[in-house]
Homo-oligomer: A and B are copies of this chain.
Amino acid sequence: MSGADLPPKYRTGNVDMTHGGGGRAMAELIEGLFHRHLKNPILDQGHDAAVFDVPPGRLVMSTDAHVISPLFFPGGDIGSLSVHGTLNDIAMAGGRPLSLTAGFILEEGFPLADLERIVISMARAAREAGVPVVSGDTKVVEKGKGDGVFITTAGVGVLPDGVSISPSAARPGQAVLVSGSIGDHGVAILSKRENLEFETEILSDSAALHGLVAEMIAAVPGIAVLRDPTRGGLATALNEIAHASGVGVVLEEDDIPVAPDVDAACELLGLDPLYVANEGKLICICEAADSDLLLKVMRAHPLGARAARIGAVVDDADHMVVMRTGFGGSRVVDWLSGEQLPRIC
């Protein structure tokens, strides 16, 4: 049952309940599709669990469930996203990711060719990130009890000595940086969902940020907070940090990078880019004295080319996020109370 033996039915067939039954059909799918594309020495051990060496020290562990709709979108798909999402959670704690696991929940009737596209994309994202998928699991639910494919990934990484990054570590006087323009992912998904056409296609920014983070930490080990502003966007992430750290944040509207086409699309769609999800951007909070060096390091990296200083941490008993507008006014940037865009990740 090696990969080369993949029966032709996997090219044209659909997921059926036998693919989750624990028998031969499931074994063929796992060997022929998952292992063939995700191949690496640890996965090839063929256990239900993967074994690998780990250096002594502190471990970082995280998980993300992915239910994005549509499954394929400009700039990525649920496969690449499920790799990037969990790697970024590990990176935001300062961790160097070591390995990933993937749990698939498949809906009966889902085309196997689409599943293969997703697994190939996942494999490419893992390879580019240098982090193998070492173990996985597949379940199948009846038609109408799922939605094509859900993927939950988990990851572990190691935390370098001396690094102590935490959402509760922001202190008044520190600078707030962002690694690039905001809102791309959410707008890309919504454009696809609503079949909107723009002059240039807006792509999701989905990307693995641990390489950028490693260079930032090498330059400034004392970074206080890192955070990827996913669901709920920049506004929600900053409110969470303000809440966790017991501080306020003041943003400068004119300094927040938003791509012109994303800005235009948000206007059209009635969205505020501050609340739109990103999948390849990070917020960094650091001592003001370190911000120039960090911006230089970030801008030298392809994923931080448009990095900017967008505000400062302030003393505020109410833990508010306030934005100073271009006209000298200011407004409160509140928590997102409901849901702006369902199933964005």
Instruction: Tell me the A residues contacting B by CB distance below 8 Å.
Output: 1, 17-18, 20-27, 45-67, 89-90, 92-93, 95, 98-99, 101-105, 134-142, 144-147, 150, 152, 154, 156-157, 159, 166-168, 227-228, 230-233, 236, 240, 243-244, 277, 335-343, 345
Contact B23 A89 (CB under 8 A): no
A117 to chain B, nearest CB (A): 20
Residues of chain B contacted by A22 (CB below 8 angstroms): 230-233, 236, 277, 336, 339
- A47, A55, A236, A336: most-surrounded residue (chain B CB, <10 A): A47
Q: Classify the secondary structure of A's interface with B.
A: mixed
Choose from B1, B21, B141, B157 the contact partner of A340 (Cβ within 8 Å): B21
CA distance A104 to B187 in the complex (A): 25
8 closest Cβ pairs, A-B complex: A21-B339, A22-B231, A22-B232, A154-B154, A23-B336, A152-B152, A65-B103, A49-B62
Contact A65 B145 (CB under 8 A): no
* 5 cross-chain CB contacts under 8 A: A21-B232, A26-B231, A50-B60, A51-B159, A65-B137
Contact A337 B65 (CB under 8 A): no
Contact A63 B231 (CB under 8 A): no
Residues of chain B contacted by A17 (CB below 8 angstroms): 338-339, 342
A121 to chain B, nearest CB (A): 19
| Nearest-CB residue, chain B, relative to A158 | B54
Contact B23 A139 (CB under 8 A): no
CA distance A63 to B338 in the complex (A): 31
Contact A47 B232 (CB under 8 A): no
| Nearest-CB residue, chain B, relative to A56 | B56
With contacts A22-B232, A336-B22, A340-B21 known, is A61 near B156, CB below 8 A?
yes
Contact B145 A47 (CB under 8 A): no
Choose from B49, B60, B139, B154 the contact partner of A60 (Cβ within 8 Å): B49
CA distance A92 to B58 in the complex (A): 25
With contacts A47-B92, A139-B66, A338-B21 known, is A103 near B154, CB below 8 A?
yes
- A65, A90, A141: most-surrounded residue (chain B CB, <10 A): A65
Residues of chain B contacted by A243 (CB below 8 angstroms): 1
CA distance A118 to B286 in the complex (A): 40
Contact B59 A53 (CB under 8 A): yes
A16 to chain B, nearest CB (A): 8
CA distance A158 to B57 in the complex (A): 13
A345 to chain B, nearest CB (A): 8
CA distance A90 to B154 in the complex (A): 15
Contact A65 B166 (CB under 8 A): no
- A58, A62, A154: most-surrounded residue (chain B CB, <10 A): A154
